[in-house]
Amino acid sequence: MEELLERIAKCVELGKINEKTPYPPAMKGQPGADELTLQALNEGISPSDILQKGLIVGMERIGVKFKANQVFVPQVLMSAKAMGTAMNHLKKFFKDGSVQRKGTVIIGTVEGDLHDIGKNLVAMMVEGNGYEVIDLGVDVKAEKFEETLEQHPEAFVCMSALLTTTMIHMEKINQLLKEKHPEVKTFIGGAPVTADFARQIGVDYYSDGPQDLVETLNKLSA
């Protein structure tokens, strides 16, 4: 069992999606996260173990490498795709309660900002680490964040911005969320955003990248 779970973790770490995909070259022709996850289920390994000891382990490894600049966005996207393909086999177990998520994360790029590459990368990394992600997309107004939090009051809220002209909206969003839901934990990130700015506008956490965010979420969810 442990050997198979390690193979799944390695496929996610290296971005090996399935047997047909040629990436990475060293694993060409070998089964990927897709086939190995199905094999694990067929062998009676619990969906929870597949998630926690296989898929999440792989995503944690690629996250650490990304934070250390040992890999770059294309490799992380391949890992996220391998993770997502494997997760397709586990979705029904999330729905019936067999596998529990670590928590729920609401994420979106703030009002006036249409950039989503960084936000999408963060969303994939967070989901790959065992959280349910509600992605609101781009140009998200304060009211949409609040409406979604009303439906998922236990969720963490993450705001992204790439422009200095749009990051000012983070303060308005945070104020509305804190007013209606004082217990909510809020996060901000993006190229122009800083820890000082987060403190200035009353946001709980600043994240300088997806792995940093995942580590903070894990501490809060423990």
Question: In terms of DSSP H, where are the helices of the chain?
Answer: 2-14, 33-42, 47-49, 56-67, 73-87, 91-95, 117-128, 142-151, 169-180, 195-201, 210-221
What are the pLDDT digits (tens) for 136-173?
Answer: 999 999 999 999 999 999 999 999 999 999 999 999 99
Q: Is the pLDDT of residue 94 over 90?
A: no
Q: Please tell me the distance from the alpha carbon of residue 188 to that of residue 201, in angstroms, as a whole number.
A: 10
CB atoms within 10 A of CB 172: 15
Q: Which CATH architecture has domain 104-221?
A: 3-Layer(aba) Sandwich (3.40)
Q: Which helix (H) or strand (E) holds 189?
A: strand 186-189
What are the pLDDT digits (tens) for 31-45?
Answer: 999 999 999 999 999
Domain with CATH 1.10.1240.10 in the chain: 1-96
Query: What is the value of pTM for the model shown?
Result: 0.86
Domain with CATH 3.40.50.280 in the chain: 104-221
What are the pLDDT digits (tens) for 165-218?
Answer: 999 999 999 999 999 999 999 999 999 999 999 999 999 999 988 999 999 999
Q: Is the pLDDT of residue 78 over 90?
A: yes
Under CATH, to which class is 1-96 assigned? Answer: mainly alpha
